[in-house]
Structure 1
Amino acid sequence: MDPLTFDYEDLHLRVDRGVFELFGLGSPTDTVRVPLRWLGALVHYKKPDRPGKLFLGVVRDPNAALYGTDPAAFRYTTSPAFRVPPSDEPLFRAYFTEVAALADRRVV
């Protein structure tokens, strides 16, 4: 099976053989690698009309939602220096919905 990838501006997201990887093409320090079983992702908006922050990390419970994860469910999070406009959130939701299906997990 080919890797499942998603490119958005300077981000490259990839799932291959049960592992999620994020590469920030603008910064080599913006790299995340997590087994799908423990992956949590969230685009968090403080204000509805402003860009939100992308959070990725490890969840405490593998039964937690893979995308739309409750911030309290994370054991560890990282936020690449990246903002997501509300109009582009459906792109991330669509990608993480496919990732969740591969991991037999849910999205919120």
Structure 2
Amino acid sequence: MEPLTFDYENLHFRVDRGVFEAFDLIGAQQSLRLPLQWLGVLIFFKKPGKPGQLFIGTVRNRDANLPLYGTDRLDLSSAATSSLQISADDEARFREFFTKVAEVANRRVAA
């Protein structure tokens, strides 16, 4: 299977052989590497109509059936918080990519 990749502004995501990698291409933040079974991602919208904030980290309970991509900040035990702001329109692109990642990892995406 070919690696899955996704680029957004200065971020590059790559999924290959059960591992998720995130790279900040301008070097402002450190790269991140996690097994897919630990991965948790969400874009949190604090106020309607305003951009959301991207959170990538580890799920709180790896044995539970927590979504790989979700909406509950309590599902993450640790998060590499990005200063990147995501619009509601761009959130759909992230959801599409992480839905594919969830299929590879045999995990789910929150509705």
Q: Gapped runs of 5+ residues in structure 2?
A: none
Aligned partner letter, 1:92: F
Q: Is the 8 A contact 1:48 1:86 kept in 2?
A: no
**1:91 counterpart (80, 90, 93):** 93
Partner Cα separation in structure 1 for residue 70 and residue 29 of structure 2: 24
Give the TM-score of the pair, scaled to structure 1: 0.94
Quote the residue 1:37 is aligned against.
37
Q: How many residues align?
A: 108
Q: Is the 8 A contact 2:42 2:55 kept in 1?
A: yes
Q: Is the 8 A contact 1:30 1:80 kept in 2?
A: no
Post-superposition offset of 1:47: 1.0
Post-superposition offset of 1:69: 4.5
Quote the residue 2:102 is aligned against.
100
Partner Cα separation in structure 1 for residue 19 and residue 71 of structure 2: 18
Q: Is the 8 A contact 1:40 1:69 kept in 2?
A: no
Quote the residue 1:26 is aligned against.
26
Equivalent residues in 2 for 1:1-108, closer than 5 Å = 1-27=1-27, 29-62=29-62, 63-108=65-110
Instruction: Indicate the RMSD between aligned Cα atoms, in angstroms.
Output: 1.2
Give the TM-score of the pair, scaled to structure 2: 0.91
Provide the identity percentage: 51
Q: Is the 8 A contact 2:5 2:14 kept in 1?
A: yes
Partner Cα separation in structure 2 for residue 69 and residue 56 of structure 1: 12
Runs of 4+ in structure 1 deviating by more than 6 angstroms, as ranges, are none
Aligned partner letter, 1:48: P
Post-superposition offset of 1:78: 1.1
